[in-house]
């Protein structure tokens, strides 16, 4: 076969879609050891909401990502993309001014409303009003990945097992793993990269994140709020609240500390009672220089990595999967910013 793919999070999904599109044969290994893509808020937003600056390459990424998710909606006849405006609560007049200055940036003008939003929402504290982001949204990554995994299971293209690195044989023309012979192998393990003897030296600075889901019947908002935390409406009076950043804890488990941090932040701007109905966590595969990790192993050219999606996997995955495919199959050079050659 053409490819073995290790890991079926957003990176693995995006790469196998690329393989399908190009009629390549493949087999995926997935062991459920990581769940960043499953718990993710799934938000796509091209503006850094702390500083009102553009996210790296955001426009180019969205141009590829939105049709990519639309194709999947058609393939599975299910909705995954939920467009939603984001309201950024201003803390001061100075922040308002910074927002309007940023609106002049040609990259951001498509996404930032130049009006100061003064709408009153009974349950939200926003004395200085809001800045509104347009053309933003949420991908329901959990439903998408479940549908995709079921589809691969039916076609016998995924094995629910842990990939054992010690069993991988590198041959003259490719690789062999437990009797499966393939031309190439692509590793998409998220934070699981740390166990991969071929790529574990890459400078991943994983960041654990926790989220809670609340039931708040009186909140009544149909836009996303960004303040000390984000509030993301899911429908049926449910809202996702996130997310923490913890650079030390390498476990997948939700913690009391994470939950308390989120509720304390939430209560600085939301005044209604709520009940916590879910608490989840995952590890974001972030990189020292905040750019993805893409490319071939310097010595073993049939081994490649697709990782480092960081805090923005939804926007980044489709374009870097395409870049890796074009690199491996068509010899197109990778952009220096994403190539792992920058660390080797
Ligand atoms: C709390 C939180 C909130 C987030 N919110 C957002 C957001 O709003 N928007 C956004 O764009 N991004 C968000 N992210 C980031 C996003 O989730 C990541 O960028 C993205 O999911 C990473 O995808 P991945 O496929 O690289 O890794 P993962 O999702 O970790 O997938 C790796 C897969 O590889 C499998 N695997 C690993 N090792 C092995 C092995 N040896 N054998 C077999 N399988 C293996 C794992 O089980 C896993 O399924 C958030 C992340 C967190 C944690």
pLDDT per residue as tens digits for the range 113-132 = 999 999 888 899 999 999 99
Where does ligand 1 bind, in terms of residues with CB under 6 Å?
A: 6-12, 29-34, 36-37, 39-43, 162-163, 188-192, 209, 211, 242-243, 282, 284-285, 307, 309-315
Do 315 and 11 form a contact (C-beta atoms < 8 A)? Answer: no
Least confident range from 4-8, 132-136, 196-200: namely 132-136
Residues 272, 217 share a domain? yes
Phi-psi region of 303 (alpha: psi -120 to 50; beta: other; left: phi over 0): beta
Least confident range from 108-122, 187-201, 239-253, 285-299: namely 108-122
Tokens read off for 95: 């922040």
List the residue whose alpha carbon is closest to atom 10 of ligand 1. 312
pLDDT at 107: 84
Q: Give me the CATH number covering residue 130.
A: 3.30.9.10
Residues 216, 111 share a domain? yes
Total tally of structural domains belonging to the chain: 2
Is residue 195 over pLDDT 90?
yes
User: Residue 308 C-alpha to ligand 1 middle, in angstroms?
Assistant: 9
Mean pLDDT of 6-21: 98
297: in domain: yes
Cis check: omega of the bond before 243, within 30 degrees of 0: yes
Residues 260, 297 share a domain? no
Residue 199: other Cβ atoms inside 10 A: 20
pLDDT at 140: 97
57: in domain: no
User: Residue 315 C-alpha to ligand 1 middle, in angstroms?
Assistant: 13
pLDDT at 17: 98
Residues 213, 339 share a domain? no
Query: Which domain, by its residues, includes 91?
Result: 85-135+207-284
Residues 254, 312 share a domain? no
pLDDT at 193: 97
Residues 280, 147 share a domain? no
Ligand 1: atom nearest CA of 307 is 26
Tell which one of 15, 34, 258 to mutate to probe ligand 1, the residue whose CB is within 8 A of the most ligand atoms: 34
Mean pLDDT of 89-114: 91
258: in domain: yes
Of 269, 284, 299, the one marking the end of a domain is 284
Residues 212, 277 share a domain? yes
Tokens read off for 133: 């982001």
User: Residue 286 C-alpha to ligand 1 middle, in angstroms?
Assistant: 10
User: Residue 158 C-alpha to ligand 1 middle, in angstroms?
Assistant: 17
pTM: 0.96
Residues 222, 131 share a domain? yes
* Residue whose pair of structure tokens reads 């503006």 in the numeric block: 47
Residues 218, 127 share a domain? yes
Is residue 319 over pLDDT 90?
yes
Is residue 50 over pLDDT 90?
no
pLDDT at 183: 98
Residues 116, 103 share a domain? yes
User: Residue 182 C-alpha to ligand 1 middle, in angstroms?
Assistant: 25
What is the average pLDDT value for the chain, to the nearest integer?
A: 95
Residues 160, 226 share a domain? no
């Amino acid at each position: 076969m053409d490819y073995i793919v290790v890991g079926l999070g957003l990176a693995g999904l995006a790469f196998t879609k690329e393989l399908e599109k190009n009629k390549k044969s493949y087999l995926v290994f997935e062991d459920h050891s990581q769940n960043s893509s499953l718990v993710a808020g799934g938000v796509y937003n091209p503006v850094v909401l702390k500083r009102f600056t553009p996210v790296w390459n955001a426009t180019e990424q969205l141009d590829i990502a939105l049709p990519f998710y639309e194709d999947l909606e058609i393939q599975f006849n299910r909705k995954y993309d939920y467009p939603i405006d984001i309201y950024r609560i201003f803390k001061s007049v100075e922040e308002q001014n910074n927002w309007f200055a940023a609106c002049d940036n040609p990259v951001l003008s498509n996404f930032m409303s130049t009006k100061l939003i003064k709408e009153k929402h009974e349950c939200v504290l926003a004395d200085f009003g809001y800045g509104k982001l347009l053309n933003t949204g949420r991908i329901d990554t959990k439903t998408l990945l479940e549908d995709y995994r079921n589809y691969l299971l039916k076609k016998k293209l995924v094995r629910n097992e842990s990939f054992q690195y010690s069993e991988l044989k590198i041959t003259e023309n490719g690789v062999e793993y437990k009797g499966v012979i393939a031309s190439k192998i692509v590793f998409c393990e998220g934070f699981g990269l740390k166990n991969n003897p071929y790529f574990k030296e890459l400078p991943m600075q994983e960041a654990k994140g926790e989220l809670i889901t609340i039931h708040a019947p009186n909140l009544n908002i149909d836009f996303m709020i960004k303040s000390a935390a984000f509030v993301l409406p899911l429908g049926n009076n449910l809202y996702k609240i996130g997310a923490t950043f913890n650079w030390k804890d390498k476990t997948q488990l939700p913690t009391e500390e994470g939950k308390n941090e989120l509720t304390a932040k939430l209560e600085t701007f939301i005044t209604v009672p709520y009940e916590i109905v879910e608490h989840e966590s995952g590890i974001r595969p972030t990189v020292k220089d905040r750019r993805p990790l893409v490319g071939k192993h310097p010595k073993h050219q049939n081994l490649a990595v697709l990782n480092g999606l960081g805090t923005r996997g939804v926007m980044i995955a489709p374009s870097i999967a395409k870049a890796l495919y074009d690199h491996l199959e068509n010899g197109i050079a990778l952009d220096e910013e994403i190539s792992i050659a920058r660390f080797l």
